Amino acid sequence: MTPIDRLSRLRTLSARESPEVVKLGKEVLASGVKLGEQEWPVREQITMAALDVGDIQLAESQITILSRRFPSSPRLLILQALHLESLGKYTSARIIYHCLLGKREGVEVPRGVGGGEKEQLEGVGIGRGEGTDDGSEGVRVMALWKGEPDECFVQGINQAIPLLTHYLHIFHSDPDAWSLLADLYVVSTPGLASPPTTTHTGTDPGTGARGWGIDALFADGTIHLRTLHNALPGTSSSSSLAPTSTDSYIPQAQTSLAQQILLEPWTPRPLARFAELSLLSGDIETGYGTLLRCVEMMSEPFAGGNDPSAGDGDLQKVYAALGGAGVGDDGWREVMRVGGWKTRVWWDLALCTTILTHPSYRPSPSSASTSSSPLKQVQAVRKLVVRRLEALYGASGVVERWERGLMSG
């Protein structure tokens, strides 16, 4: 498969494999090959991926070329607003987004935001033919909100959820908005609210940011502690942890993530977050099966940008800096946090296999799964989990120390 064919395949799948797209895009551009009718979709694809991975110079070069061909395209304005986001100019980006939302009323958008020259929001859609009006101009409005999560708490969750729900009635195809809605439902659940400790930028917990919502619950160990206590009462010293409240909004959060998964079927991140909510709600079997699907997606043929290993490259060095094998049992949270999405999935699987192989485990009556996993299969997966985590951390016994720490709370 040629690089051009692979890029086309990724567009067809709506696969968010930005690092791979950037790598292939640079190869295609450097080769000087004629792209024909694929030129503009490819350049738009490269621009989005470059902004996603922080290659601002590549993104700017493509935006310049696209602006010459499509000076009045709403899709170009979206790319320009994304560029402003990448530079931290959120206010300027919002101006573009809100003006684009009013295009049906003939709103004019300042070119360059703040400049004197104006342009009407009519023209050719990049790579989509003339007159395209697919609602894509609204895709980033609520996603931009995640750049400043404190706003959610300042305005109040009760106001934020209806606002976001209304937005999604209009722009149903925004996966980031569905992800945000899931987080809002989680922090609305009594006992699970955790205001953000840092600005949420999609950063993995392993890079030092706790994030908020579901990510924060993983980073501070809440998901693992609550799941263990609910599934194996009496085995953890954290017996004071009450089960998730009956006023839980976890089902609504899972529904939101399910919508995101439908929009991004080849991205393991929302799938892993869905699995964690299953574990939190006591459905170990569903969480376990979903995590196994994540592992499958982290393998070939989707091992490029879809492999959530970004941030895991220096994992052994970071773990050694923490103290390596000398890290005490009480440091199990820090050990989990130092990795990226690959290690997060493996740690969740370690939790599942710990529970599923425990002699006192009994499936929850509310489990969506109709059958329990065969013990021999779970034991085989457990061996794989131990092997992979020890390889990632470059240390033997890391899972055993983590389990002792988890059991002691």
Q: How far is it, in rounded angstroms, from Cα 79 to Cα 43?
A: 11
Q: What does DSSP assign to residue 124? A: E
Where does a domain end: 130, 160, 190?
A: 130
| Residue 108: inside a domain | yes
| Residue 136: inside a domain | no
Q: Could you report the per-residue pLDDT of 52-62, keeping only the tens digit for each?
A: 888 999 999 99
Q: What is the pLDDT at residue 250?
A: 92
Tell me which residue has tokens 């902004």.
51
81 and 204 part of one domain: no
Tell me which residue has tokens 């953890």.
236
230 and 353 part of one domain: yes
Q: What are phi and psi of 203, to 5 degrees?
A: -70, 140
Q: How far is it, in rounded angstroms, from Cα 399 to Cα 176?
A: 33
| Residue 140: inside a domain | no
Confidence grade of residue 245 (pLDDT, cut at 50, 70, 90): low
- Look up the domain containing 117 and give its range: 3-130
Q: What is the pLDDT at residue 368?
A: 57
pLDDT at 199 over 50: no
154 and 117 part of one domain: no
Q: How far is it, in rounded angstroms, from Cα 179 to Cα 189?
A: 16
HSE at residue 228, side-chain half, CA atoms within 13 A, is: 26
The enclosing domain of 44 has a CATH number of: 1.25.40
92 and 169 part of one domain: no
The three-class DSSP label of residue 120 is: strand
What total of structural domains would you count in the chain?
2
Where does a domain end: 130, 163, 191?
A: 130
Q: Could you report the per-residue pLDDT of 282-298, keeping only the tens digit for each?
A: 999 999 999 999 998 87
- Considering the entire predicted model, what is its pTM? 0.64
